[in-house]
Amino acid sequence: MKRFIFVTVFFISTYTLTAQNKKIAVLPFTSTCNSDNKPAYYLSYMLSDVLSATGELTVISQDAIFNTLENESIISDDKHSEKLDLIADDKKDLVVRGKYCMRSDSIEMEFELLGDNGNVNVAQERIYGPIKNYTDFYKTMYRAVEYLFQRINHTEKNLLSPNGVLQGHERLRTIASDHEEYALYVQKWEALGYYSLGVSAYEKNNDSDAILFFEKARRLDYSNSLKSEKNISAAYLRAGNMAYRNNDWPSAITGYNRAIEFQPENADAVFNLGNVYQARKEWDVAVLQYRRALELNSKYVDAWVNLGVVLSEKGKAPEALAAYESALKIDSLRALVHYGCAVGYDDNLDYVKAETHYRKAIALDSNLYDAYLNLGILLKGKKQHKEAQRLFEKSLALNPNNAKTHRSLGIVYMNDKKQVKKAIHHLEQTLALDPGQRDADVIQKNINVLKKRLSKK
């Protein structure tokens, strides 16, 4: 059974065009349902092409119209109806626009030819033709455009001269015989449409749709002029980040790997992949990813810092310090860089430099609670108990649920006979927050001793 295209044509035409080179715009056809967008591209481009070939009309280019729409999708009717109306009212002599819906057994379309005075002549037509494969679909689109061209010329009797009509039909015959080359031309426009849909979805944080549209654009963009791979990579990167924030490590790894697949030079994706493996305490793989990120961007400060963190976890203090110092050479005004250097010097027993960088880190970021804690531990080792106590209390105020801070503060209070109750409180808190910590049994024994001491008073 043959499929058909149902066409309804509206003509506003009580005026008569007599002069040549009238200005005409063929607006992008808009979908009234969730259907294939190919008719939109073919009909608007083909009709513009044929009208331009007459040599007697000034046809606004499809690219210019697309730019007027600000590179947005031409598929959704509701989204662009207001802008299309503005274009139609913009002092054109004639405006052609249309709607379509691709059904399972037909393509339904409506066309309007808009002039100055607002009257409407209605014409209906069914254009039969199969649409199962590309060639048949193309021929059906060609016949629809042929019909439209004839109707425009018939309704606007003085619009074209006989020679103009002849030139239009000649162009139609060329299009019919050269559909493969024309397909590439329209395919590029179709790719741009999907690309714009991807941009719109990405801006709405809809990464799954963005990836879908960008991948469609990439398949259609035979010359790769849109460079969709970068957009796909960015969408996968953001999807990976969302999974990372939810501690969904498998999905995060998949997102980052896909981002790297589409854009191998995406240093952020490689770096974030390292962060996943760091969170999973897979130190060797994390080191590999951070080094890969640094190969792509040798000034990636966060990669240097995190590389130092992981190397420190692996017990490679000198290498960790070298990584922190590399970060410092690039950016000496970041608190975390100074904090990393302080940890590196601390691990390498250079306590003077460690203290200097802990204090610089605190000066740059007064909320860096780990810097207060570590500096307190360092000063406690130097018998500066009062200053250590002050730093521990500051750290605890910033992060009340840090088991290490409660432990350190409890030990400091143990040495002050007037602070037994506080010592017991903080030692109990550290065990409650981290029951499996190192020397937990010793801490519990100290609590028992302190309670006995308190009961004797």
Q: What is the pLDDT of residues 228-249, one digit of tens each?
A: 999 999 999 999 999 999 999 9
DSSP state of 4: E
Backbone angles phi, psi at 210, to 5 degrees: -60, -45
Q: Are 167 and 55 in contact (CB under 8 A)?
A: yes
Residue 374 CB neighbour total at 10 angstroms? 23
Task: Provide the CATH topology of domain 4-177.
Answer: Rossmann fold (3.40.50)
Burial pattern 236-257, b for ≥16 Cβ within 10 A else e, equals: bbbbbbebbeeeeeeebbebbe
- In the Cβ-directed half-sphere of 48, how many Cα atoms lie within 13 Å? 22
Nearest C-alpha neighbor of 97 from the set 171, 47, 159: 47
Tokens of 120: 């409407």
Q: Are 235 and 243 in contact (CB under 8 A)?
A: no
**Residue 4 — very low, low, confident or very high, per pLDDT cuts 50/70/90?**
very low
| Alpha carbons 135 and 129: distance in angstroms, whole number | 11
Q: What is the pLDDT of residues 254-309, one digit of tens each?
A: 999 999 999 999 999 999 999 999 999 999 999 999 999 999 999 999 999 999 99
| Alpha carbons 87 and 100: distance in angstroms, whole number | 19
Q: What is the pLDDT of residues 60-98, one digit of tens each?
A: 887 777 766 654 444 444 444 555 555 545 556 788 877
- Ramachandran area for residue 441 (φ above 0: left; ψ -120 to 50: alpha; else beta): alpha
**Residue 337 — very low, low, confident or very high, per pLDDT cuts 50/70/90?**
very high
Counting other chains too, the contacts that 177-181 makes at CB distance below 8 Å and 24 or more residues apart are 179/135, 179/138, 179/139, 179/142
Residue 101 CB neighbour total at 10 angstroms? 18
Tokens of 235: 């969408």
**Residue 130 — very low, low, confident or very high, per pLDDT cuts 50/70/90?**
low
The structural domains of the chain, with segments of one domain joined by +, span 4-177
Mean pLDDT across the chain? 84
| Alpha carbons 183 and 362: distance in angstroms, whole number | 63
Question: Has residue 9 got a pLDDT over 50?
Answer: no
Q: Are 231 and 207 in contact (CB under 8 A)?
A: no
Tokens of 123: 């014409």
Q: Are 108 and 100 in contact (CB under 8 A)?
A: yes
Question: Has residue 386 got a pLDDT over 60?
Answer: yes
Taking the alpha carbons of 134, 182, 176, 145 in that order, is the dihedral positive or negative?
positive
- In the Cβ-directed half-sphere of 41, how many Cα atoms lie within 13 Å? 21
- In the Cβ-directed half-sphere of 84, how many Cα atoms lie within 13 Å? 23
Helix and strand element counts for the chain (H, E): 20, 7
What pLDDT, on the 0 to 100 scale, is given for residue 21?
66
Looking at residues 160-166, what average pLDDT do you find? 88
